[in-house]
């Protein structure tokens, strides 16, 4: 699996969904810079309830995107969209960080919409995508989320990070 260099981009941004403060979205030079800022935000004890993405400006396809959401009493949802050219699975798709105990328990059935399955009590409504529900099994501890993001930043390699943390490939969801 080749390692792709994301350090020379000048067109990434961090987008806050919660809290919304009306400030312009910060422009970032590199995907890594956005992951660093997301990790700082996650570790800050003042931020116990938030939703943000780090991705390409204008949401261009075929670039990595990090989605990070922390909800009190639930945990942290961590997803990375990885384009085919960078994916361990050889196809575009989302990888979800999961607790090691849940690694073989989660599947695409842990993602739904309020339109398809409005009565599911085991699901949490995300603030990252309108009407999307994620199973509580897809939320991890803040410590696991921080460790996974730190590992990525230490190695600056998506494939290394995905191989060495409990990331579950979910496909295009």
Give residue-wise pLDDT tens across range 111-154: 999 999 988 899 999 999 999 999 999 999 999 999 999 999 99
Q: Cα-flanking dihedrals φ and ψ of residue 15, to 5°?
A: -120, 120
pLDDT for 44 equals 93
pLDDT for 2 equals 41
Low-confidence ranges of the chain (pLDDT < 70): 1-10, 21-26, 59-61
Alpha helices for the chain (secondary structure H): 31-43, 142-155, 158-163
What DSSP element (H or E) covers 135? Answer: strand 132-135
pLDDT for 50 equals 94
Kindly state the percentage of the chain with pLDDT values over 70.
89
56 closest CA partner among 85, 18, 25, 79 = 25
First CA to last CA across the chain, in angstroms? 23
pLDDT for 10 equals 54
pLDDT for 62 equals 79
Alpha helices for 44-135 (secondary structure H): none
pLDDT for 1 equals 41
Cα gap 1→77, rounded to integer Å: 26
25 closest CA partner among 36, 38, 16, 37 = 16
Alpha helices for 44-141 (secondary structure H): none
């Amino acid at each position: 699996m080749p390692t792709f260099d994301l350090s020379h981009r000048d067109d990434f941004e961090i987008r806050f969904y919660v809290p919304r403060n009306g400030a312009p979205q910060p422009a970032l030079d590199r995907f890594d810079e956005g992951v660093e800022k997301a990790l700082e935000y996650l570790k800050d004890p003042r931020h116990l309830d938030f939703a943000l993405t780090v991705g390409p400006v204008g949401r261009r396809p075929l670039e990595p995107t990090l989605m990070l959401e922390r909800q009190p009493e639930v945990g942290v949802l961590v997803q990375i969209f990885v384009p085919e050219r960078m994916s361990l699975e050889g196809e575009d798709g989302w990888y979800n960080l999961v607790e090691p105990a849940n690694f073989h328990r989660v599947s695409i059935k842990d993602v739904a919409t309020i339109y398809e399955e409005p009565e599911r009590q085991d699901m949490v409504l995300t603030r990252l995508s309108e009407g999307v529900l994620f199973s509580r099994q897809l939320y991890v501890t803040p410590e696991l989320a921080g460790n996974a993001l730190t590992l990525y930043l230490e190695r600056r390699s998506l494939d290394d990070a995905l191989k060495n943390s409990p990331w579950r490939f979910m496909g295009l969801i």
